[in-house]
Amino acid sequence: MSKDHGHAKHPRLEELEAQVRDGQIDTLIVAITDMQGRLMGKRVQAQAFLNGVIDHGAHFCTYLLGTDMEMNTPEGFRLMNWETGYGDWIASPVWDTLRVVPWLEKTALVLSDTIDEATHTEIPVSPRTMLKRQVAAAADAGYVIKAGSEFEYYVLRTSWEDQHRSGWAVPEPFGTYNEDYHLLQATKAEPLHRLLRNQMTEARIPIEFSKGEAAPGQHEVNIRYDEVLESADRSVIFKHGAKEIAYLNGWGITFMAKPDHRWTGSSGHLHMSIWNDDGSKSLTHDPKSDGPYGMSTTMAQFMGGMMQLARELAIFFAPNVNSYKRFAALSWAPVNVVWGRDNRTTGFRVVGNGPALHVECRFPGGDMNAYLTYAAFVGAGLYGIRHKVAPPAEYKGNGYVATGCDRMPRALWEATQALERSEAAVEIFGQDVVDHYLNAARVEQNTYDSVVHPWDRERYLERS
């Protein structure tokens, strides 16, 4: 069981108990994050919480870490299948993550680790556990990884229910022209953006900026950086909470990577840096280094690892069929694995100066599961340090026309093949985890391939 279930009560738990007793909180959400990055869990009634119903965590069916997007139970997952009987695991609350969520009345939310009740060990394929293991590997090597997330999304005039009734036709964005940095256009949806900024910050998810993005109805939010596990926690709660806030206030919203082929894709950029063992000193800059822009050897190798493994770890940060439609030339989404100084055409963009020097990874989309994405890039960065992987020379100019470099996979099936061949992925995650997520990717691809899409009918119904 997690350390939070020892004899001494966590101060956030004590605070929650006091809030329940005086009537400030009447509902506690206990949540895990599934493979797709969604929050799953239970709502605990306040008195039941005080009576100790989750003193040892909340039970949940093992299938929640072995489904597809439709909550089907596909074959091929070793840890959960009909032969195993789909038993229970434990959602063990991590009280550090406890937050009062102001967009739901008298409600608090706590994220959980997933525990095997018999062995008291964490489930290796759980996304949060996968990132925790990389954080532990960094600590063993003497490092703390810090990161911040940026999310792009579309505000829609059509609700999710409207979309369902229309047969999932192309949605109508809330806007009629490119609103990148455009204050007037952004004002039109400011009632929603203001709620996101302020209610998220109140819930300990500090929002620094929001701004219009490069398409009608598209917007971006920047979440303040912190240690990478905290940043991932913030990211999954932000996406979930943003959907709840939008829905409860009559707005449509989507983090889909590419809602339509004519639209600019929505990104989930990561800003990453590497620090000393107690997180007090950035190790990205070395004034004595002869590396470009004062880049330290540590940072160079960390970025070198991320670049070398970007293709073969793609399904961990581009998990869906649709994810790969965002990777399009001249679209603000990168396609080539090159780096440049403050260059938005490259997959890796080096920004900042001195101790603030860091790398922005521009490959993930808004559809990312932050735990898996950060786990992949932290693991790849540590791999680069272990194996002394030097990054290629800086690419100057239009990164979309770069040659002699890796390119992002063009489709999920290509990313799956790259992961199948990856020895580094097994070194980072273990074979059991790699096999689990390979199966998830194959299920998603096979489902897509078996469906007749509107494009098929448009192209072939009359003319074939």
- pLDDT tens-place string over residues 203-217: 999 999 999 998 999
Mean pLDDT of 51-79: 90
For β-strands 358-361 and 207-212, DSSP reports them as unpaired
pLDDT of residue 323: 97
Distance of CA 181 to the CA centre of its chain: 24
Give the confidence band of 3 by pLDDT, cuts at 50, 70, 90. very low
Question: What are the phi and psi torsion angles at 133 (to 5°)?
Answer: -65, -35
DSSP, res 300 = H
Q: Where are the beta strands (DSSP E) in 194-245?
A: 207-212, 218-223, 226-227
Query: pLDDT at residue 178 above 80?
Result: yes
pTM to 2 decimal places: 0.95
Mean pLDDT of 153-161: 92
pLDDT of residue 7: 55
Question: Following CA atoms 435, 441, 442, 447 in sequence, which dihedral angle do they give, to the nearest 10 degrees?
Answer: 150
Mean pLDDT of 103-129: 95
Mean pLDDT of 340-344: 95
Query: pLDDT at residue 242 above 80?
Result: yes
pLDDT more than 70, % of the chain: 98
pLDDT of residue 4: 45
* Torsion sign (Cα): 406, 411, 416, 421: negative
Query: pLDDT at residue 158 above 90?
Result: no
**Among 83-87, 198-202, 285-289, 374-378, which stretch is predicted with the lowest mean pLDDT?**
83-87
Task: Please identify which residue in the block is written with the tokens 């605070």.
Answer: 15
Mean pLDDT of 67-96: 89
Distance set, CA 321 to CA 151, 223, 258, 326, 410 (Å): 19, 27, 10, 10, 10
Give the confidence band of 83 by pLDDT, cuts at 50, 70, 90. confident
The third-level CATH classification (topology) of the domain covering 3-123 is Ubiquitin-like (UB roll) (3.10.20)
Query: pLDDT at residue 82 above 50?
Result: yes
What is the overall mean pLDDT for the chain? 94
* CATH code of the domain occupying 135-456: 3.30.590.10
**Residue 407: beta bridge partners?**
336
| Domain boundary assignment for the chain | 3-123, 135-456
Task: Please identify which residue in the block is written with the tokens 């559809």.
Answer: 367
